[in-house]
Structure 1
Amino acid sequence: MKPQEIRVALFSGNYNYVRDGANQALNRLAEYLLRQGVNLRVYSPTVDEPAFEPTGDLVSVPSFPIPGRGEYRFAFNLSKGVRDDLEAFKPNIVHISSPDFVAAKAVSWARDHDIPAIASVHTRFETYLQYYHMDFLEPVLQSWLRRLYGRCEALLVPAPSTADVLREQGMNDKIQIWARGVDRGQFNPERRDMEWRRGLGIGDDEMAIAFLGRIVMEKGLDVFSETIEVLEKKGVAHRVLVIGEGPARGWFEEHLPDNAVFVGHQEGPDLARALASADVFLNPSITETFGNVTLEAMACELPVVAIAATGTNSLVTPGQTGLVAPPGEIEQLAGHLIAYQNDPAMRAAHGAAGLAKAKTMDWDSINSVVLDAYANAIRAREKVNA
């Protein structure tokens, strides 16, 4: 099947209004698909001043701000205008990337029109509940996700470890790996800037431990701060470098040492400079299905200390590109950081191994997997209807 024969209706819960790893991956996919000649139309909530310009044609779907997290919006309906737009566009495949009500309605629309639907899984939303003391709802959410994903022809997930979890949960039997790449023109060791770092008051002999991402509780801020607290109590020399912004910044500032450096939201070369100027990357999150920030750190030649979780387990090779600890093992996480502090040679070796792995993550070859998945799903449906 030629790319020009493929017409994709892509549904996203956040295509460009708040910048995150998931929507940047989707926009990069859109750029690749359009470059191959695929017909693409994107459906997502929109705002007047988005974080960045969207790639491709974007149609706004009805949505409202999520209570307590007003920067995000919840898509709740396929309005008549959106349905009319879909009818006029005539997609031959629907791709959902966020498990919300509009995604469920989009899958129903696809089934009503006898076209295939596939889903890409970017975040393990069910794991968010524990950060908001709503763990009791996790079985309900898993059941809802199981019904949604079970109605799709296939799931696209970024890492084998994520695929294993989804199979165990009974989400879908047909799972393919759509990994993530890294822009090595942006993220590379040459971005390291010791003068910039000195300007922040971080000494050359201090081990700078980086946090990178939206400053929200579901990124494991409590685990990060508790790990740093152990270092403080043990008198281990270090500095914390926080790269990012978010609604929980005040909480994070209160729970980190007074000399922690917050550089706020960074983009482009400034982001790469900040990350490459650290010495170790600490990723405390268990919610990612891949961990774009982990790969970006590896591309900057930083060793990684992380929780053993989906995504991380497929990126970080313990003892080679970083060190991992089971969820909840704060002392072990701190021990890994202490090991890097005591052994700069190991720190350098693990960073170099991470860089070597990052060099194998090419975006075009990775995104070609999605194009193949579209073509396979369309052909399979055509055979059924023949």
Structure 2
Amino acid sequence: MPRLLVCTDSYPPQLNGVSVVTAAMVTGLSARGWECAVLAPAYPPALTAPLSQPVTLRHVALPSRSLPAYPDVRLVWPPLRHARQIVRDFRPDVVHCATEFTVGWAGLRAARAYDVPVVTTHHTDFSRYCDAYGVPFLRPVVQRWLGRFHRRAHHTIAPSAAVERTLRAMHVGHTTVWGGGVDTAHFSPRHFSLLSRHRYAMGADFNFLHVGRLAPEKNV
């Protein structure tokens, strides 16, 4: 049975694109016979996870603090000791670092210390946030950080061809495009409800729906 250790700075019950995709990957691989463990921040007990997790999942919740600007985002002091311990105890066949921050970096360093293959995912080009928040001079610094992180991995996953081009511009060559799937049971025409459409004054016309934070970097 293959073993996967996922190291991520964002995981349910926090709700965002990275956490949902990462949890769905863990759930899917567990259903296919993989033994998975997750190293992620701890969240307040009042939050509930939006996705069900495998009963056998080993989940190490690291002490964390909220980010002042975004209370839902949790910050973890670099947990290198925890990462090395779980790599020693769990003995994964591969370590997947889903984010480039403290938990992801700790997983990357621990995996390299124990000669375990590392796969990373580049979900977001955080260097673009510098332009959106008025500090464009920091963009090269953030790009160097991201590029250095992914170049240290054995392979890097990009969710789209555009993201892969961004990685290539940062001199990351070992990449694969792995697009996000759509749950056709959840997002199905059988859920169509004319009553719900009338409730929101949508009628029968075609509508666009935006789901996400109304933040500058989203370019809504």
**In which range does the TM-score fall when normalised by the shorter chain?**
0.7 to 0.9
1:197 aligns with 2:194: no
1:14 aligns with 2:37: no
Could you tell me how far 1:96 is from its partner in structure 2? 0.2
Listed one character per residue, the Cα deviations across residues 255-296 of structure 1 (whole Å, up to 9, x for unaligned) are xxxxxxxxxxxxxxxxxxxxxxxxxxxxxxxxxxxxxxxxxx
Aligned residues of 2:83 and 2:110 also touching (Cα < 8 A): no
Tell me the equivalent position of 1:46.
Answer: 42
Aligned residues of 1:99 and 1:148 also touching (Cα < 8 A): yes
Aligned partner letter, 1:188: S
Tell me the equivalent position of 1:252.
Answer: none
Structure 1 residues 82 and 165: alpha-carbon distance in aligned structure 2, compared to 1, 3 A threshold: closer
Could you tell me how far 1:87 is from its partner in structure 2? 1.8
Equivalent residue pairs, number: 215
Structure 1 residues 203 and 33: alpha-carbon distance in aligned structure 2, compared to 1, 3 A threshold: closer
Could you tell me how far 1:145 is from its partner in structure 2? 1.0
Q: Matched residues in 2 for 1:129 and 1:201: separation?
A: 38
Between structure 1 and structure 2, the one with the greater Rg is 1
Aligned partner letter, 1:94: V
Aligned residues of 2:117 and 2:154 also touching (Cα < 8 A): yes
Q: List runs of 5+ in structure 2 lacking aligned partners.
A: none
Aligned residues of 1:42 and 1:57 also touching (Cα < 8 A): yes
3-state SS of 2:59 partner: strand
Aligned residues of 2:27 and 2:53 also touching (Cα < 8 A): no
Q: Matched residues in 1 for 2:13 and 2:113: separation?
A: 30
Structure 1 residues 36 and 54: alpha-carbon distance in aligned structure 2, compared to 1, 3 A threshold: closer
So what's the TM-score if we normalise by structure 1?
A: 0.52
1:161 aligns with 2:158: no
3-state SS of 2:165 partner: helix
Q: Matched residues in 1 for 2:89 and 2:77: separation?
A: 21
Aligned partner letter, 1:131: A
Q: Matched residues in 2 for 1:54 and 1:124: separation?
A: 28
Aligned partner letter, 2:46: E
3-state SS of 1:114 partner: coil
Counterpart of 1:34 (choices 12, 30, 37) is 30
Tell me the equivalent position of 1:85.
Answer: 86
So what's the TM-score if we normalise by structure 2?
A: 0.87
Aligned partner letter, 1:86: V
Aligned residues of 1:61 and 1:77 also touching (Cα < 8 A): no
Tell me the equivalent position of 1:132.
Answer: 133
3-state SS of 1:104 partner: helix
Could you tell me how far 1:30 is from its partner in structure 2? 1.0
3-state SS of 1:163 partner: helix
Structure 1 residues 101 and 32: alpha-carbon distance in aligned structure 2, compared to 1, 3 A threshold: same
Q: Matched residues in 2 for 1:116 and 1:204: separation?
A: 51
Could you tell me how far 1:100 is from its partner in structure 2? 0.2
3-state SS of 1:212 partner: coil
Task: Say which structure is richer in helix.
Answer: 1
Q: Matched residues in 2 for 1:85 and 1:8: separation?
A: 11
Structure 1 residues 77 and 194: alpha-carbon distance in aligned structure 2, compared to 1, 3 A threshold: same
Instruction: Describe how 1:276-295 pairs up with structure 2 within 5 A.
Output: none
Structure 1 residues 117 and 7: alpha-carbon distance in aligned structure 2, compared to 1, 3 A threshold: same
Q: Matched residues in 2 for 1:136 and 1:118: separation?
A: 30
Could you tell me how far 1:95 is from its partner in structure 2? 0.8
Q: List runs of 5+ in structure 1 lacking aligned partners.
A: 222-386
Tell me the equivalent position of 1:251.
Answer: none
Could you tell me how far 1:182 is from its partner in structure 2? 0.4
Could you tell me how far 1:25 is from its partner in structure 2? 1.6
Structure 1 residues 81 and 152: alpha-carbon distance in aligned structure 2, compared to 1, 3 A threshold: closer
Could you tell me how far 1:152 is from its partner in structure 2? 0.4
Quote the sequence identity (%): 24
3-state SS of 1:67 partner: coil
Instruction: Describe how 1:372-383 pairs up with structure 2 within 5 A.
Output: none
Could you tell me how far 1:110 is from its partner in structure 2? 1.3
Q: Matched residues in 2 for 1:105 and 1:82: separation?
A: 6
Structure 1 residues 158 and 39: alpha-carbon distance in aligned structure 2, compared to 1, 3 A threshold: same
Instruction: Describe how 1:186-335 pairs up with structure 2 within 5 A.
Output: 186-204=186-204, 208-221=207-220
Q: Matched residues in 2 for 1:166 and 1:36: separation?
A: 30
Aligned partner letter, 1:34: S
Aligned residues of 1:17 and 1:49 also touching (Cα < 8 A): no
